[in-house]
Amino acid sequence: MSTRQPAPPYDDMDERATTPRRRGPHIGPLRITPARVFLFVALLGGLAFLGYSVFFRDALQVPLMATGFAILGIVFGIAAFMSVASVISAGHDGRDARAFFTSLLGGILAIGAMLCLAAAVIMGMIWTGTSAT
């Protein structure tokens, strides 16, 4: 005969007390905030604007491309700064893997921001150097 006691029934209240409650709307683990919605809309708008300027040729193609690259550079830069806050928050909470991968994503976003802003500057230099006078 076994002297082991049966496990107590699962108590749902214990799990709710240990896990933090999620507030607001979420898409999977990602919380939807006004800043994220704004950046997503700006990203889609910048990509659409850049796509328009690449595929439709006219006299203002180069400055339109410069504007599209500038918009994307600003969006990527803001997203990189937002990832810094997420890295700090994850580090304080002891979620080291999340902090590492968020910092990796933030670095990639910062590189993308620098590349887009450099492309905007180059397009601006091309536009000013090609004046037909």
pLDDT tens-digit readout, 58-110: 888 888 999 999 999 999 999 999 999 989 988 998 888 989 999 999 999 99
| Sign of the dihedral through C-alpha 48, 50, 52, 54 | negative
pLDDT at 12: 56
pLDDT at 122: 93
Indicate the pTM of the whole model. Answer: 0.75
Phi and psi, residue 44, nearest 5°: -65, -40
Number of neighbouring beta carbons within 10 Å of residue 108: 14
CA distances (Å), origin 110, targets 100, 126, 128:
15, 24, 27
Strand locations in the chain (E):
26-27, 30-31
Higher pLDDT, 25 or 7: 25
